[in-house]
Amino acid sequence: MKHLPAVVLIALGPSAITAASDYPVQPVPFTAVRLTEGLLHARQATNQLVTLPFALQQCESSKRVLNFDLAAETMRRRAAGETGFQNKPPTEYPFDDSDVYKALEGAAFCLSVETNAALAQQLEKLITHIAAAQEPDGYLYTWRTMHPDSPAHDWIDQRRWMKDPQLSHELYNLGHLYEAGFAHAQATGSRSLLDICLKSAELLQTDFGDGDPRIAPGHQVIEMGLAKLYRQSGDDRWLKLAKFFLDVRGRGGEYSQDHKPVVEQDKAVGHAVRANYLYSGMADVAALTGDPRYLAAITKIWENVVGTKLHLTGGCGARASGEAYGNDYELPNRCYNETCAAVAFLFWNHRMFLMTGDAKYMDVFERSLYNGVLSGVSLSGDRFFYPNPLEYDGRTANNHGHAGRAPWFGCACCPPNVLRTLASLGGYCYAVKGEKLFVNLYAQSEATATVAGSKVKLQQFTEYPWDGKIKLRVTPEKPGQFTLCLRIPGWAEGQPLPSDLYTYDDATPSEWSVQVNGKTLVLNGLRSSGRKSAPSHFPESVSRLTSAATLEKGFAEISREWKADDEVTLELPMPVHRVAGNEKIAATRGLVALERGPIVYAFEGLDNDGSVFDAVLLAAAKIKPERRKNFLGDVVVLNVTGASRATRKADGSLESKSAKLLAIPYAVWANRGLTPMAVWLARDAANARPPARPTIASQAKVTVSFNRSGMNLDPINDQLMPRNATDGFAPDFDFWPHKGTKEWIAYEFAQPTRVSAVTVSWFDDTGSGECRLPVSWRIVYHAEDGSWKPVTGASDYPIRKRDPVRVTFNPVTTRALRLEVELAKDFSAGIYEWEVE
Ligand SMILES: [Zn+2]
pLDDT 10s digits, 180-232: 999 999 899 999 999 999 999 999 999 999 999 999 999 999 999 999 999 99
Provide Rg for the chain, Cα atoms: 28
- Indicate the pLDDT class of residue 154, thresholds 50, 70 and 90: very high
Higher pLDDT, 690 or 836: 836
Determine the residue type at 826.
D
How much distance in Å is there from the Cα of 98 to the middle of ligand 1?
11
Question: What are residue 261's phi and psi, to 5 degrees?
Answer: -55, 140
Q: Which helix (DSSP H) or strand (DSSP E) does residue 757 occupy? A: strand 742-763
How much distance in Å is there from the Cα of 815 to the middle of ligand 1?
40
How much distance in Å is there from the Cα of 339 to the middle of ligand 1?
6
Q: Do residues 704 and 695 lie in contact, with contact meaning Cβ atoms separated by under 8 Å?
A: no
Q: Spell out the alpha helix ranges (H) of 383-466.
A: 414-423
How much distance in Å is there from the Cα of 340 to the middle of ligand 1?
4
Output the CA torsion sign for 328, 310, 495, 282: negative
Q: Which of 3-12, 203-212, 414-423, 486-495 has the lowest mean pLDDT?
A: 3-12
- Indicate the pLDDT class of residue 536, thresholds 50, 70 and 90: very low
Number of other CB atoms surrounding residue 433 within 10 Å: 17
Number of other CB atoms surrounding residue 45 within 10 Å: 13
Q: What is the mean pLDDT of the chain?
A: 91
- CA–CA distance, 163 with 140 (Å, rounded to integer): 15
- Indicate the pLDDT class of residue 531, thresholds 50, 70 and 90: very low
Q: Which residues surround ligand 1, an ion (CB under 5 A)?
A: 338, 340, 413-414
How much distance in Å is there from the Cα of 343 to the middle of ligand 1?
9
Number of other CB atoms surrounding residue 740 within 10 Å: 13
Determine the number of helices (DSSP H) and then strands (DSSP E) in the chain.
16, 31
pLDDT higher than 50, residue 615: yes
How much distance in Å is there from the Cα of 765 to the middle of ligand 1?
22
Q: What is the pLDDT of residue 772?
A: 95
How much distance in Å is there from the Cα of 188 to the middle of ligand 1?
27
- Indicate the pLDDT class of residue 722, thresholds 50, 70 and 90: confident
Determine the residue type at 132.
A
- Indicate the pLDDT class of residue 534, thresholds 50, 70 and 90: very low
E strand spans, 132-251: none
How much distance in Å is there from the Cα of 179 to the middle of ligand 1?
17
pLDDT higher than 80, residue 424: yes
Q: Which of 277-291, 355-369, 728-742, 822-836 has the lowest mean pLDDT?
A: 728-742
Percentage of the chain beyond pLDDT 70 is: 93
Q: Which helix (DSSP H) or strand (DSSP E) does residue 807 occupy? A: strand 805-822
Closest CA to 668 of 606, 743, 718, 713: 606
